[in-house]
Structure 1
Amino acid sequence: MHSGCLKGLVSSSILLAVILFWHTALLRTRREQDTRSRANPFSGAKHPFRSSLEDLSSLSGGVDFPSLLADSFPEPHCHKRLVLLVLVTSSPGHFGPRQVIRGTWAAEETWTPFPWQTVFLLGQTSDDSIAREIQKEQQRFGDVLVGNYLDTYRNLSLKVMHGLKWATERCRPEYILKTHDDCFVNGDRLPAFLAEHNTIKTGLYVGAVLPRPKRRVIREPSSNWYVSRQDYQPEEYPPYATSTGYVLSLDAASDILRVAERTPPILAEDAYVGILARKAGIWVKASGRFARYNAKWRVCNYRYLMVIHQLSAKGQTLAKVNMLKARTACEDSREVIRW
């Protein structure tokens, strides 16, 4: 009897020790997770989209906008009564290009009759060090919008949809320009042109439009721009403005977003916007003011060009200098006031 009790006591002690060990390990794990969450604002967010080829193909019902919002990260602040909001797609690690933009074309004037501002669009990153730097960046500048999706090339359409949704609901500017962090935006001309010379106040969708032969859907699986027939059945995209930059009026952006709720996204962000615009009954307008390639533009070209693609940091600085020179250097040349 005494031996049986002793065995029971030993068994109970072992069981109690196992329970205490498991509980201690669980608490330690939770503390580590909390520490990582505080250090990395992205770590607690959901990642509803993978970085593989099937990222977007699972969204058969269209874009689920509520799932794109990252509640764990503060939103940028909107200026009031904006004529133009510039949405710049960027990658988490592109700190240099964003800083160059802040110091050149996006540098805020002390006063402007046509208010405008710039916001950078980012997705999630699993790199804790980059995430911490983005947190500091947002605290310092307040111009970063982070979405609840992995920042991959295949999720670029989701990034743009998230940016447009946020812009139309939070800021409600008269116009939205979507561009990329290797592009120059002529902030000296574009807001004023939109306010004073643009005659298309509603249903505006304008940019550099590709010729028809270049709008064929790429079916080669090895291509970065591959789109399967399952994702998009037609062999040709409707006319669309390239990702260099395109301007949308507020009503056009809102109509495009409504169509996106029932239209599955595809890889090519600019083509996807074109598909949505066509479904919404909006026709893209082609304009030579959006330069798809950088060239040795003269100072007077900056009286006409609104967006220039593929600029290095040095190129951004030079473009800003030329933009300012164009204020007075080319007054003898007649200004073009149409798209």
Structure 2
Amino acid sequence: MAHIRTWHLKVCLCVGTFLILLLVWGHVAQEGPKGALGLDLSPLFHGDLVRPPCRDRLVLLILVTSHPAHTEQRKVIRKTWAAQGAMATYPWQAVFLIGRTLDVELDWHIHKEHVANGDILMGNYLDTYRNLTLKVMHGLQWAAGTCQPRYILKTDDDCFVNTERLPAFLALSNQLREGLYVGSTFSREKRVVIRDPSSKWYVSKQSYEPDTYPPYASGIGYVLSLDVAKTVLAVAQATPPIPMEDAYVGILADRAGIKLLSSTRFAKHNLKWSICNYRYLMVIHRVSPAEQEVALGNVQLANTACTMNKEVTHW
């Protein structure tokens, strides 16, 4: 009987969560000043998980989109590139972005994980691929409104971030203190809007009328200065969302007149990089949990093995 009661409770909680999330989604879209349906992000903050604390005087805040079930990926990231000393010269921190699930037990484990680590920002939306835009915009809203770092990096939990170099690079070498939107870009051919309803990247004409997206940085990693983050959030209030978060950020930046800076420091593929490449690369995509430790080791090795190579100080 106890087993039946537990099962019944889980079903009730799942149904209740689902109905709440449906109501939230109905309030996320709002009427913008020009009649366009934009984003109202305030309902996404009505969750029961305490928000992470912000470090003081942050140079960089890293927002990592993570699937709720990716416990191992988050664990390894905390041990590798997200680990740092308490007295970092250029303060930075990493926070995982996670949405709600219909699995009560998984939600409970995420709560325990956050209590133990204090680095999860849970949004009040269903964690699905089609809701990735809500996840990222929720993270940007929290980052720009609460932490206010000088720069924000958005990345994924299958990426390696060169935290031994990026904060210092932003503080010392980056010349664009404002108006910075930088990442790995796509050719025009790869920016064609997909109209096939069976595709997970499907976007209807009603949601976005042009057949080609403006230039945008790949979601594997892009950096925004704080002013740019605030600007795209403001533009989002009158811009209908689409499921592709990186393309959506590109649309917002384009409408705000913000120019995208293309940089090869953000690698879409995990190739057999030489040791000295790790003095240049800032983000590498498609890195497995086991490869995270290898990549960190390569960064540390490059600090001594590649000192004769000239340091690149531009994007």
TM-score, normalised relative to structure 2:
0.91
Q: Give the secondary-structure state (helix, strand or coil) at the position aligned to 1:106.
A: coil
Determine the C-alpha separation between the residues in 1 that align with 2:106 and 2:249. 30
1:256 pairs, out of 225, 229, 232, with 232
Q: Residue 214 of structure 1: which of 172, 190, 204 is its match?
A: 190
Corresponding residue to 2:161 among 185, 195, 198:
185
2:178 counterpart of 1:202: yes
Residues 161 and 272 (structure 1), Cα distance of their counterparts in 2 relative to 1, 3 Å cut: same
Within-5 A mapping of 1:1-339: 43=17, 46-48=20-22, 61-339=37-315
Q: 1:68-122, CA deviations, whole angstroms, 9 ceiling, x for partnerless residues? A: 1133211011100000000000111110101010011001224321010000001
CA distance in 1, matches of 2:200, 2:18: 30
- Percent identity, aligned pairs only? 53
Instruction: Give the C-alpha shift of residue 220 in structure 1.
Output: 1.3
Judge conservation of contact 1:49–1:150 (CA < 8 Å) in 2.
no
- What residue identity is the alignment partner of 2:281? L
Shift of 1:311: 0.5
CA apart distance, 1:33: 6.8
Quick one: structure 1 residues 44 and 222, their matched pair in 2 at CA, closer, same or farther if it must change by over 3 Å? closer
Distance of 1:147 and 1:275 partners within structure 2: 23
For residues 199 and 328 of structure 1, the distance between their equivalents in structure 2, rounded to whole angstroms, comes to 27
**Pairwise CA distance, 1:43:** 4.2
| Shift in CA distance, 325/49, structure 1 to aligned 2, threshold 3 Å | farther
Task: Give 3-state SS (helix, strand or coil) of 1:62's partner.
Answer: strand
Which runs of structure 1 show a deviation greater than 2 angstroms over 4 or more consecutive aligned residues?
42-46, 48-51, 54-60
Select between 105-114 and 54-63 the one with higher mean Cα deviation. Answer: 54-63
Aligned-partner residue type, residue 47 of structure 1? L
RMSD: 2.5
**Over alpha carbons, which structure has the higher Rg?**
1
TM-score, reference length from structure 1: 0.85
Distance of 2:167 and 2:134 partners within structure 1: 26
Distance, in Å, in 2 between the alignment partners of 1:141 and 1:207 is: 29
Measured in 1, the distance between the counterparts of 2:30 and 2:308 equals: 56
Q: What do residues 50-74 of structure 1 show as CA deviations (whole Å, max 9, x unaligned)?
A: 99xx999898521111111133211
Change in CA separation of 1:49 and 1:188 when aligned onto 2, cut-off 3 Å: farther
Secondary structure, aligned partner of 2:99:
strand
Q: Secondary structure at the match of 2:49?
A: coil
Query: How far apart are the structure 2 equivalents of 1:109 and 1:335?
Result: 24
Q: What stretches of structure 1 of length at least 5 have no aligned partner? A: 1-28
Look up the SS of the partner of 1:77 in the other structure. Answer: coil
CA contact (8 A) 1:56 1:154 kept: no
State how far apart, in whole Å, the 1-side matches of 2:254 and 2:20 are.
32
Assess if the C-alpha contact under 8 Å between 2:133 and 2:244 holds in 1.
yes
Count of matched residue pairs: 304
Contact 1:68 1:147 in 2 (8 A): yes
Cα distance change of structure 1 residues 244 and 276 upon mapping to structure 2, 3 Å threshold: same
Unaligned runs of 5+ in 2: none
Determine the C-alpha separation between the residues in 2 that align with 1:268 and 1:325.
Answer: 36
* Cα distance per residue 1:256-286 (max 9 Å; x no partner): 0000011110011100000000111111100
